[in-house]
Amino acid sequence: MCRIRIFIIVSLLVVMLSEMHAQEFNAGLYSGIVASQVDGDTHAGYHKAGLVVGGYVNRFLNKDLAGQMGLRYIGKGSKRADDKMQIYYKTQFHYVEMPFTLRYFNFSDIDLDIEGGIAVGYLIKGLEAKNNDLYLEDAEPPFNDIDLSALAGLNYSLNDKFTIGAHFSYSLMPIRAFFPNLENIKGGQYNNVLSFILSYKLSSWR
């Protein structure tokens, strides 16, 4: 089922980029690596690695500012493996996200732009390994289906086609209201994510 959903996501992305390619939009693809943690699970550190793959379209609102939207798969979660303390804990989330951002160009002498906005994510699958169990299983209680997050980043253009970027995102609402057996955590749990991406521009209108 998860593979079917990912196939549908990729198909929608291809259709979106194909439609935008013929209009006055910039369009591109990107992929990268993710380092994430879940604030509120008592296991600090960006120890969970993941992938991000997606595409974007944007259009310049004026000579310096562009509005952008995208569609992507992103893996999030958290991990702690401490043999000395005999602790093993892991969460693994598979999201499809739609980021909506503004990108501001020409604020420096180098080809650097800043980006900020929100992302709406739908949880395809949420897995958890707890109580030192190495096997991932459906989280109980389950994580919320929707993750609304704020995001910000810097992007540097290597040339006319390739751009590298470093982004940070953080959940605006809890992804789970409480942590089992830890009632003292009242604030819920939140995705805390760093991502490093390489983008390829398919078309350019400005």
Mean residue pLDDT across the chain: 84
Query: The CATH number of the domain where 127 resides is what?
Result: 2.40.160.20
Phi/psi for 71 (5° steps) reads -140, 130
Phi/psi for 4 (5° steps) reads -65, -45
pLDDT at site 8: 59
User: Sign of torsion, CA 108 109 112 113?
Assistant: positive
> Model pTM?
0.82
Give the structural domain span for 199: 2-203
pLDDT reading at 178 higher than 50: yes
Q: Write out pLDDT tens, residues 87-142.
A: 778 889 999 999 999 999 887 778 899 999 999 999 999 988 876 666 677 777 88
Phi/psi for 62 (5° steps) reads -150, -165
Residue 4 in tokens: 């079917």
Q: Write out pLDDT tens, residues 141-157.
A: 889 999 999 999 999 99
Between 11 and 80, name the one with better pLDDT. Answer: 80
pLDDT at site 158: 94
Residue 29 in tokens: 């693809």
pLDDT at site 40: 85
Three state DSSP letters for the chain: CHHHHHHHHHHHHHHHHHHHHCCCCEEEEEEEEEEEEEECCCCCCCCEEEEEEEEEEEEECCCCEEEEEEEEEEEEEEEEEECCCCEEEEEEEEEEEEEEEEEECCCCCCCEEEEEEEEEEEEEEEEEECCCCCCCEECCCCCCCEEEEEEEEEEEECCCCEEEEEEEEEECCCCECCECCECCCCCCEEEEEEEEEEEEEEECCC
User: Sign of torsion, CA 168 54 197 191?
Assistant: positive
Of 82-91, 118-127, 162-171, 191-200, the one with minimum mean pLDDT is 82-91
Q: Is 175 exposed, middle or buried (0-12, 13-18, 19+ CB in 10 A)?
A: buried
pLDDT reading at 184 higher than 50: no
pLDDT at site 181: 58
Residue 110 in tokens: 């180098």
pLDDT reading at 205 higher than 80: no
User: How many domains are contained in the chain?
Assistant: 1
Residue 202 in tokens: 């398919």
pLDDT reading at 10 higher than 70: no
pLDDT reading at 185 higher than 60: no
pLDDT at site 190: 94
**127 in Cβ contact with 112 (< 8 Å):** no
Q: Write out pLDDT tens, residues 18-37.
A: 555 555 678 999 999 999 99
Between 64 and 33, name the one with better pLDDT. Answer: 33
Residue 49 in tokens: 């690695």
